Amino acid sequence: MSLVAMEEPKKILTDLVSYIGVFGTGILGTIITTRLLNREVLLTKRIFIQRVAYSSNSATWGKIDVLYNGAPCNNLHLITVEIRNDSNKNIDDVEVVFTVPEFNTFYANSGQYKQDEVFTPLLLSDGYYRYFMDVSERNRTIESLDEGAQIRLRGEIDHVTREKKFHIPVFNKNGIGIFSFLIDNTTNMEPILMVSIVKKDVRLAPYQEEEERKTIQTKWVEIMTCLSLISFAILIATYSPTVKFTVWLMIINLFTSYYLSMAIYRSIIWIKRFLS
């Protein structure tokens, strides 16, 4: 075998290693640059809805009345929201706003903050609590107000009974805010609870279930595997000295591209979590 023929496999391996290095460095550089420019703290939320009781007046089921504290209501649902700080950053003074659309009313609420195994009560935001108590106090004398004032006050009542604001003094990494609400719904539809964070550089996103994570992982690994197969196949076909050597490298390429793509994907996820 000539010296040139012996050097060809080394050249192929060198080119492959260089290609992987350039590709990996590009991905790593993009992730680091994005994280440095984007200082957002990502929080995740999970919402659990449970129907407690519902009223009915039908020929099939008859009449069902539901009472809450002795007063008639319609359809009661218990909604629990978990907000997690999965980032590596601790944040202070976070206000969480919960809102329900028309035909829904908050009847009761509670909040807790969990750090490790310790639970701490969470209170309504001071500004919201003062406003809520002021509206409640004025509602006691609503009949003494003129028509215009009554209309404005009813609008305020509708606002405070469809919105809740909680304050989290310190939200450390791995901390969980747990909020529960008893909601009355005048329709037969499942209530919709909207959650937002009032804090600069803090973003709230839905929590990804394990099945959803696997689906996303499979999709991206398949795309990366296809790109890897094509790229390496072009390099092998271009630089391989013999047909036999080409066939062996193609076989190796088929088996290694998937595992290489999986390793790259998991490395990207780990780096993103580390830098978040």
Q: What is the pLDDT of residues 251-262, one digit of tens each?
A: 776 667 777 777
User: Measured between alpha carbons, how far is 92 from 167 in angstroms, rounded to an integer?
Assistant: 10
- Tell me how crowded residue 256 is: count the other CB atoms within 10 A of its CB: 14
Residues 20 and 56 in one domain: no
Most confident by average pLDDT, 128-137, 186-195, 262-271: 128-137
Local confidence band at 4 (pLDDT 50, 70, 90 cut-offs): very low
User: Measured between alpha carbons, how far is 125 from 116 in angstroms, rounded to an integer?
Assistant: 24
Given a contact cutoff of 8 angstroms between Cβ atoms, the answer to whether 166 and 111 are in contact is yes
Distance, first Cα to last Cα, the chain: 54
User: Measured between alpha carbons, how far is 165 from 109 in angstroms, rounded to an integer?
Assistant: 10
pTM above 0.85, yes or no: no
**Structural domain span for residue 241:** 3-38+210-275
Burial environment of residue 218 by CB neighbours within 10 A (0 to 12, 13 to 18, 19 or more): exposed
Give 2 or 110, the one with higher predicted confidence. Answer: 110
Domain end (from 200, 222, 252)? 200
Residues 186 and 214 in one domain: no
Give 86 or 37, the one with higher predicted confidence. Answer: 86
Residue 101: its pLDDT value, please?
A: 93
Residues 238 and 256 in one domain: yes
Q: Does residue 64 lie in a domain region?
A: yes
Residues 180 and 262 in one domain: no
Number of domains forming the structure of the chain: 2
Q: Does residue 232 lie in a domain region?
A: yes
**One-letter amino acid for residue 241 of the chain:** P
Q: Does residue 108 lie in a domain region?
A: yes
Give 263 or 8, the one with higher predicted confidence. Answer: 263
Residues 10 and 55 in one domain: no
Given a contact cutoff of 8 angstroms between Cβ atoms, the answer to whether 88 and 173 are in contact is yes
